[in-house]
């Protein structure tokens, strides 16, 4: 569903990502893991068309969209839950969800997302549907950020540090939700530091070091030594 090949990207003259290749299919979860500043968010920005790649391909269902504008890439079926959530503070929960809603891309195999479905997935959001974005707790903001990405009816959902800074019960809730979305056939690319939770959910890890994928494989092949090095602990 999503295949990245040889992606290179930077900021102005400064190269940051040199060689990232990864793939995730429908009903699969792939991860991009690595220490702070290794290029995870930069990779995601390039995938989404928010930065222009210097090289490489970003194929969505076989079509290379590298270098295309962000709105086209979103419309092709990539939904992003950005680092830092970035919900609209002066819109209500419902307005946040409607703001970026889009019709399902042709050929999508998953059921269309509606307000009612998002509220079913995240009952706490339903209770706060008329609350301003800025008044939400961190966990509620994160649920809203995921709900907002789902309302674009993505075929591929990309989450950049979606459980960061959340209480353990809320994190468990997010992981439960991602498992349900995977079971529905969504392709999911997740960046996170919770290797234990990722190990239960993911089909394939991709370890990034200084802008290069240095290891890829199934979670049970990630040795404790590699895991420790990956997260710098
Ligand atoms: N807007 C920017 N302009 C210039 N350099 C940047 C910019 N954003 C990030 N960088 C640099 O690019 C490198 C990779 O940053 P990036 O945010 O992609 O890392 P990351 O793997 O997502 O880290 P973290 O785990 O902290 O989120 C870092 O050295 C960072 O300082
Ligand atoms: Mg980041």
Protein residue closest via CA to atom 6 of ligand 1: 11
For residue 113, give the CATH number of its domain.
3.40.50.300
CB 49 within 8 A of CB 72: yes
107 pLDDT higher than 80: no
Q: Which of 79, 57, 81 is nearest to 68 (CA)?
A: 57
Write the pLDDT tens digit of every residue in 160-199. Answer: 999 998 999 999 999 999 999 999 999 999 999 999 999 9
23 pLDDT higher than 80: yes
Query: Would the CB of 11 count as within 6 Å of ligand 1?
Result: yes
What is the per-residue DSSP string for 46-108?
A: HHTTSS--SEEEEEETTEE-TT--HHHHHHTTEEEE-TT----TTSBHHHHHHHT--PPPTT-
Write the pLDDT tens digit of every residue in 59-83. Answer: 999 999 999 999 999 999 999 999 9
Global pTM value? 0.95
In the reported structure, the alpha carbon of residue 232 is separated from the centroid of ligand 2 by a whole-number distance in angstroms of 15
Full domain range(s) for residue 134: 2-231
How confident is residue 102, by pLDDT bands cut at 50, 70 and 90?
A: confident
Rounded percentage of the chain residues whose pLDDT exceeds 70? 97
The number of distinct structural domains making up the chain is 1
Query: Would the CB of 36 count as within 6 Å of ligand 1?
Result: yes
């Amino acid at each position: 569903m999503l295949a990245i090949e040889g992606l290179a990207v930077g900021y102005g003259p400064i190269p940051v990502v040199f060689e990232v290749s990864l793939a995730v299919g429908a009903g699969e979860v792939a991860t991009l893991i690595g220490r702070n500043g290794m290029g995870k968010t930069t990779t995601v920005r390039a995938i989404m068309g928010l930065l222009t790649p210097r090289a490489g391909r970003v194929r969505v269902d076989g079509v290379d969209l590298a270098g295309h504008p962000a709105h086209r890439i979103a419309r092709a079926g990539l939904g992003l839950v950005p680092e830092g959530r970035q919900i609209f503070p002066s819109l209500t929960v419902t307005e946040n969800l409607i703001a970026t809603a889009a019709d399902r891309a042709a050929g999508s195999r998953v059921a269309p997302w509606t307000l009612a479905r998002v509220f079913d997935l995240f009952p706490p959001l339903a209770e706060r549907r008329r609350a301003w974005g800025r008044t939400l707790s961190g966990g509620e903001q994160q649920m809203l950020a995921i709900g907002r990405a789902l309302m674009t009816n993505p075929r591929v959902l990309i989450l950049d540090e979606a459980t960061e800074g959340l209480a353990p019960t809320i994190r468990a809730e997010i992981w439960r939700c991602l498992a349900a979305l995977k079971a529905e056939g969504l392709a999911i690319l997740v960046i996170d530091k919770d290797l234990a939770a990722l190990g239960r959910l993911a089909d394939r890890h991709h370890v990034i070091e200084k802008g290069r994928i240095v290891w890829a494989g199934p979670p049970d092949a990630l040795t404790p030594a590699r895991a420790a090095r990956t997260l710098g602990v």
